[in-house]
Structure 1
């Protein structure tokens, strides 16, 4: 009975934290879907459009938010960051909803991005810290399901209210505001992370923790491994997230509406990949799940190198990349990023890595259109094939054996037993 109650409590915490992913995906898709309407309404110049893209929830502002949020989550606690970030997010949404000029719109997009970046780092950390060690993948997978759901729901809403123009896009953003306020209410009622509260070294670490600590070899090697898996893979994922509707139309000769439907199907397969593969199997067979699903990205991008193209090829791509998104690099990175760092540095490490990934995507996105136009989509697919293959190999060769272990056990194996409080650590109930 106690076990059932504990699992129920963990589930509530997990769902409340996972809503950050719904909001993240929803913000990116809603911003992209409404861009052309804002351009028409405000008569935006090319430079203004570029600023909106650069400071959206998918790029610089989210990167800055992650850097700030990760540091604060280690300093003052996970709950303070992931609860109050929802109020900051609500402010950004309101600026978009009631904006009537470019500065208000840009401020809204930027505030949304900062809050999302901060929320993701704190939320991913608290999910892993609250999850039972035998079911950590299942709990972390909820966040990935929420991400896919956010993208699908916003795409569907955008289609349904598309005839309303800018008002329709504001309705989509308004629904995200409602979700944010519900999330804030849920999180206010939940306790702080047990790992953060109970860490014996936390009082001293709070005063000393900084991003410079992560440059120590014992931490830096893990950052290099995770960036080798996740950042390199994200160069392909960034193209998939923003440029795929254009690629669908160019390669498959499909209409814009069909391209949007294909993109929606991709996110549906992402959710299925998490729910049907990652969540039930990754806790016991993590490396196998990673290998198979990482290989799906290799298969997917290889399809664009075939001498024949068309709708069947696009459907195979949507299936393969959807499964990869759901149970490959993204989902496994979320687990490893929480497992490979001690409590006092866990959120900061995630903030730094999220910052590096989002900044890299922003810079890379500047070159993607040039490469596709000058050299063709086949060349771009070849580059991305190299990226996802390298990411898969790095993950398979260097992946740590952390399945089924508590975060404390992993921490002791990597960094040794704590200098003080060792006996207390042995007898304390593991989360």
Structure 2
């Protein structure tokens, strides 16, 4: 009975935290889908369009939010960040819904991005800390399923309300507002992470706020820096390909397969559907026991996927094979395994900060890289771009296979003892009760 109750509590916490991924993906896709409508409505210039793209939920604002959210999640608690971020997100959505000029729209995009970035770091941390040690991949996989679901639902809604123009895009954003408010209600009733609370040697006084003296400078120490370099070798390098796929793929579909814009959107929806299937039927059932095997096979699917664009004959069959291979890779390859490793390889008091720093580096890198992607494809062709991305995913796969830690089936405390000798809470930490 107690076990059933505990499992039920884990499920509630996991689902409530995983909704961050639904909102993240939904915000990116909704912003992209409605961009042309806002351009027409507000008569936006090229520089204004560039600012919207640069400060959207997929780039700089999310990066800044992750840096801030990770630090605060370690400093004052996971719950404070992942609960209040939903209210900040709601404010950003309202600015978009009632936007009458460019400053309102840009402010809305920026606030959405900041809240999403902060939420992701706190949510991924609390999922890992609440998950049973033998089912951590299963619980973390819920977040990846939610990400795929957010993208698919928003794409479907965008198609259904497409004839309504800008009003249709606002309806899509309004549905994200409803999800955010539901998420806030779910989260406010849930407890703080036990792992975070257990860091303190002293009991927490009633109504007191626990504060941890964490610092990003501490993450530059060799012990932590090695782990950050490993994770960035896997995740950041892979994301250079994933960033192209997320934003430029419909264009590539049309150029390579000669398909219409609507068909390109349907293919992109298919990619996200296979992403969800990859998480649900490969990563969640098998990654807890066969982590490295799952990573290796699914990382190799990205190698196959980008190799397809180097074949002499192109067309719809190539595109269909691509979305299957890349969907499986997205669902059970670098992204899902990074979420696990990023939570496992750092002690509790730096867990969210480390994820915030790495998320910041990844999103900033995608933003800078995206500036050069159109120029490369225009001047050198899609095949040349595919060769670059093939090199990225191959390097990411090799780094993961060579340096992946053996953490399956171990609790976060056991992993911490293996890596650092003894849990940080036993060493004495810098926290104080205020």
TM-score range, shorter chain: over 0.9
TM-score by length of 1: 0.96
Mapped contact 1:125–1:346 kept (Cα < 8 A) = yes
Match of 1:271 in 2: 276
Match of 2:93 in 1: 93
2:330 to 325, 330, 343: 325
Match of 2:285 in 1: 280
Match of 2:178 in 1: 178
Match of 1:250 in 2: 255
Deviations 1:295-348 (A, max 9, x none): 000000000000000000000000000000000000000000000000000000
Match of 1:72 in 2: 72
Match of 1:296 in 2: 301
Match of 1:190 in 2: 190
Change (3 A) 1:23 1:11: same
For the residue of structure 1 that corresponds to 2:422, the secondary structure is coil
Match of 2:160 in 1: 160
Coordinate RMSD, CA, aligned: 1.2
Deviations 1:103-134 (A, max 9, x none): 00000000000000000000000000000000
Match of 1:429 in 2: none
1:11-160 counterparts in 2 under 5 A?
11-160=11-160
Aligned counterparts of 1:420 and 1:348: Cα–Cα separation in 2: 17
1:331-342 counterparts in 2 under 5 A?
331-342=336-347
Deviations 1:160-196 (A, max 9, x none): 0000000000000000000000000000000000100
Change (3 A) 1:165 1:333: same
Mapped contact 1:298–1:385 kept (Cα < 8 A) = yes
Aligned counterparts of 2:200 and 2:103: Cα–Cα separation in 1: 46
For the residue of structure 2 that corresponds to 1:208, the secondary structure is coil
Mapped contact 2:76–2:212 kept (Cα < 8 A) = no
Q: CA deviation at 1:421?
A: 4.0
Mapped contact 1:200–1:421 kept (Cα < 8 A) = no
Deviations 1:226-278 (A, max 9, x none): 00000000000000000000000000000000000000000000000000000
Aligned counterparts of 1:284 and 1:365: Cα–Cα separation in 2: 37
Deviations 1:380-404 (A, max 9, x none): 0000000000000000000000000
Q: Quick check: 1:3 aligned with 2:3?
A: yes
Mapped contact 2:198–2:425 kept (Cα < 8 A) = no
Aligned counterparts of 1:70 and 1:207: Cα–Cα separation in 2: 12
Match of 2:361 in 1: 356
Aligned counterparts of 1:200 and 1:271: Cα–Cα separation in 2: 38
Mapped contact 2:20–2:119 kept (Cα < 8 A) = yes
Deviations 1:349-368 (A, max 9, x none): 00000000000000000000
Match of 1:314 in 2: 319
1:359-378 counterparts in 2 under 5 A?
359-378=364-383
Aligned counterparts of 1:419 and 1:388: Cα–Cα separation in 2: 35
For the residue of structure 2 that corresponds to 1:380, the secondary structure is helix
Aligned counterparts of 1:125 and 1:330: Cα–Cα separation in 2: 15
Match of 1:261 in 2: 266
Match of 1:230 in 2: 235
Give the unaligned 5+ runs of structure 2.
205-209, 428-434
Q: CA deviation at 1:208?
A: 3.0
Q: CA deviation at 1:81?
A: 0.1
For the residue of structure 2 that corresponds to 1:99, the secondary structure is coil
Q: CA deviation at 1:201?
A: 6.3
Aligned counterparts of 2:137 and 2:23: Cα–Cα separation in 1: 21
Give the unaligned 5+ runs of structure 1.
423-431
For the residue of structure 2 that corresponds to 1:345, the secondary structure is helix
Change (3 A) 1:216 1:171: same
Aligned counterparts of 1:65 and 1:251: Cα–Cα separation in 2: 36
Q: CA deviation at 1:209?
A: 1.1
Change (3 A) 1:274 1:373: same
Aligned counterparts of 1:195 and 1:251: Cα–Cα separation in 2: 49
Aligned counterparts of 2:150 and 2:161: Cα–Cα separation in 1: 16
Q: CA deviation at 1:200?
A: 3.8
Change (3 A) 1:196 1:36: same
Change (3 A) 1:139 1:253: same
Aligned counterparts of 1:420 and 1:129: Cα–Cα separation in 2: 15
